[in-house]
Amino acid sequence: MSDGIASDHLHQQAAAMPQDELVPGASGQPESIQPQASLAHVLVRANLQRALKQVRQNKGAPGIDGMTVDELPDFLQHHWPEIRTQLAAGRYRPQPVKRVEIPKADGKPRLLGIPTVVDRFIQQAIAQVISAQWEPHFHRHSYGFRPQRSAHQAVREVQASIHAGYGWVVDMDLQAFFDRVNHERLMVRLKSRCPDAALLRLINRYLKAGVSVGGDIAPTLLGVPQGGPLSPVLSNVVLDELDWELERRGHRFARYADDCNILVKSQRAGERVMASVTRYVSDTLRLTVNPLKSAVDRPRNRKFLGFTVSRNGAKLKVAGSAIEKLKDRARELTRRTRGTSLAVIVAELRETLLGWKAYFGIAEVLSPLRDIDKWVRRKLRCYLWRQWGPAGYRELRKRGVSVREAWNTSKSAHGPWRLSKTPALTVALPLAFFKTMGLPSLAPR
């Protein structure tokens, strides 16, 4: 096995196992679907190889034991036979996850649970088997954490329903979904397609492994902690019930993880659906719809996965909150106290902008993107003007600005941000200048 797991011990242990059962291929799609998943399928050599490769690609912070992803292959080289024996005998005990908080857009913390890298590896191997088994049964309008599916497809699904005359949206947000999943219901749901007691017991141990907070271990009685490879597929297993209930009721919808949009033709219908689905989520799934983040409204007034739609023609448009988040990042990179060269700033901005463009590039309303392009260039002009300081006049003249414009600008009492929009700075630092430096544009030209 590559990456350090290819010990003779592991090869011998895996050789007796079926090599083609329930092991997803390189595309992520199952190559062979068996009706039952088992711990033996998890421990198939090819499945473990793929799990290790995925964990190393994902990188991520260490868990409570401090081991890094780079240290994992060597550790497995020496300890995998013992760990595998424990797994096969039902004696393996996952370690608690490490509590990490990251800020959300609304300022509140998002609670992550970071497993150790060894547990991430085992979780990934389990997730691949569970995903391959459940994938054929998941609803076609579920788009999150699934092979060959994406947030873009979910957004397009919503847009298609709007174009079909469904002009109202029931925008549902599940309150602290990942923290409130009912373990008992989840295990019953898993057992319906996976009767293997050994695998179910291992999954349940991961659910109840506990969380380390400030050195103290707190029990985990609810939830599937975000941060581990198992959480995404388990969340789909939980919410698959909701998908098929919406199908049974004849609703048009798109779901990505715990974000769900149901499209209806009138406000009255939307309010009726909101009330009935909220009851179903509470009574059957034992979850809670967040009343502060959920609403019945026109789609143009709501955002879904970072997008909204235009008032006319329901064209895809980047949501205002996503634009503000990008601006915050640009402000951080161009703050005047950094004291680094413009080339470094542009290189960092390039990485951010290309990543942003890869996701939001499907937007059809381009005017906000053009505005961001102009705003970013203005931030860079402002940054460079501050760096020039007393040499501003000389730098402007060197770049072809007239004596009058250069003098008036350099002696102006206005601040750098105001001056960054003047003709002198635009002439000295034109679009072509930033293009040569490698600054990408968000709006196609």
Are residues 355 and 284 located together in one domain of the fold?
A: no
Closest CA to 41 of 194, 155, 170: 194
Task: Identify the domain boundary among 258, 279, 314.
Answer: 314
**Are 42 and 105 members of one domain?**
yes
Q: Are 103 and 199 part of one and the same domain?
A: yes
* Residue at 8 is within a domain: no
CA distance 304 to 173: 10
pLDDT, residue 5, reads 41
Q: What is the pTM of this model?
A: 0.84
Give me the phi and psi of 345, to 5 degrees please: -60, -45
Is residue 176 assigned to a domain? Answer: yes
**Residue 432, in any domain of the structure:** yes
> For residue 250, what is the domain's CATH number?
3.30.70.270
| DSSP 3-state of 220 | coil
For residue 29, tell me if it sits in a domain.
no
Question: Contact at 8 Å (CB) between 203 and 92?
Answer: no
The answer to the question of residue 18 being in a domain is: no
Structure tokens at 200: 């179910």
Number of domains the chain contains: 3
Predicted local distance difference test score (pLDDT) of residue 110: 79
Which structural domain range is residue 235 located in? 147-182+222-314
Same domain, 166 and 255: yes
Q: Do residues 326 and 290 both lie within one domain?
A: no
Sign of the alpha-carbon torsion through 304, 306, 312, 314: negative
Decide if 9 is inside a domain. Answer: no
**Do 119 and 63 meet the contact criterion of CB atoms below 8 Å apart?**
yes
Let me know whether 288 and 162 are in one domain. yes
Residues 82 and 169 in one domain: no
**pLDDT for the residue numbered 24:** 37
> Does residue 159 sit in the same domain as residue 308?
yes
- For residue 28, the model assigns a pLDDT of 40
Compute the distance between CA of residue 30 and CA of residue 42 in angstroms, rounded to an integer: 14
3-state secondary structure of 288: coil
Residue 164 and residue 133 share a domain: no
Same domain assignment for residues 275 and 325: no
The pLDDT of residue 220 is 85
Under DSSP, the state recorded for 174 is B
Burial class (CB in 10 A: 0-12, 13-18, 19+), 202: buried
Task: Tell me the C-alpha distance between 74 and 59, whole Å.
Answer: 16
Check if the beta carbon of residue 236 is closer than 8 Å to that of residue 134. yes
- Does residue 286 share a domain with residue 239? yes
What confidence score (pLDDT) does residue 179 get?
Answer: 87
Q: Tell me how far apart the alpha carbons of residues 128 and 132 are, in angstroms, rounded to a whole number.
A: 6
Non-local CB neighbours of 83 within 8 Å, separated by 6+ positions = 76, 92, 118, 122
Instruction: Answer with the one of 314, 344, 364 that is the final residue of a domain.
Output: 314
Q: What is the pLDDT of residue 106?
A: 66
Instruction: Provide the residue-wise pLDDT of the chain in tens; the chain has 445 residues.
Output: 444 443 333 333 333 333 333 333 333 433 443 446 799 999 999 999 999 999 999 998 999 999 999 999 999 999 999 999 999 999 999 999 998 888 776 667 778 889 999 999 999 999 999 999 999 999 999 999 999 999 999 999 999 999 999 999 999 999 989 889 999 999 999 999 888 999 999 999 999 999 888 888 888 888 887 889 999 999 999 999 999 999 999 999 999 999 999 999 999 999 999 999 999 999 999 999 999 999 999 999 999 999 999 999 999 999 999 999 999 999 999 987 777 899 999 999 999 999 999 999 999 999 999 999 999 999 999 999 999 999 999 999 999 999 999 999 999 999 999 999 999 999 999 999 999 999 999 998 6
**β-strands 211-213, 97-103 pairing:** parallel
Q: In terms of domains, do 371 and 417 share one?
A: yes
Q: Which of 274, 292, 314 is the last residue of a domain?
A: 314
pLDDT of residue 21: 34
Supply the pLDDT for residue 101: 81
